[in-house]
Amino acid sequence: METSKLAEMRTTYIFTPGETSTWGLTYDLVETRLRERVIDEFTRLQLEDNGPVRGSAMYFGFALGEETLEGTAKLAPEGISLEDCTAQSAAEFVQWLRKAVVPDGVAVWFNTEWGLEASLPDAAVADVPRPRLVADFLAHLEATGFLD
């Protein structure tokens, strides 16, 4: 597929600390960092009957230019996803995530909705400039095999 068409493809990107690590994620932390970035960003916490962690999720908006993408943060399993976004948007989001939410020295792993459907393993997000991140995300989309 042409790179320009591939760059327009949208899917959900899922970011996690990996199986043996933690970010110490809290909903207060995510909300605070989002509001430091854009004061009127929307957030909504959904708690289930069985407590503040199991079954809970925080839904939020993440403004990128004129577009606001929707995301979800979960404490168990720990991670943050960004829905219906391009590789470029995902790269910008994960750079913010790494600076604002993830503790220094802790890894960020990713997969996509398509990657999960194709049984691709999670992959580490490289600490590289945005153009390289976009290239890594595009290569992941190609590896799903859903683009043919």
What string of pLDDT tens digits covers the 148 residues of the chain?
Answer: 676 788 899 999 999 998 889 999 999 999 999 989 877 777 777 756 555 555 588 899 999 888 999 999 999 889 999 999 999 999 999 999 999 999 999 999 999 999 999 999 999 999 999 999 999 999 999 999 876 5
C-alpha–C-alpha distance, residues 56 and 46, integer Å: 6
Give the model's pLDDT for residue 11.
96
* Model pTM score: 0.90
CA dihedral sign of residues 13, 97, 106, 138: positive
- The pLDDT value recorded for residue 50 is 52
N residues, the chain: 148
Nearest Cα neighbor of 70 from 80, 79, 83, 57 is: 83
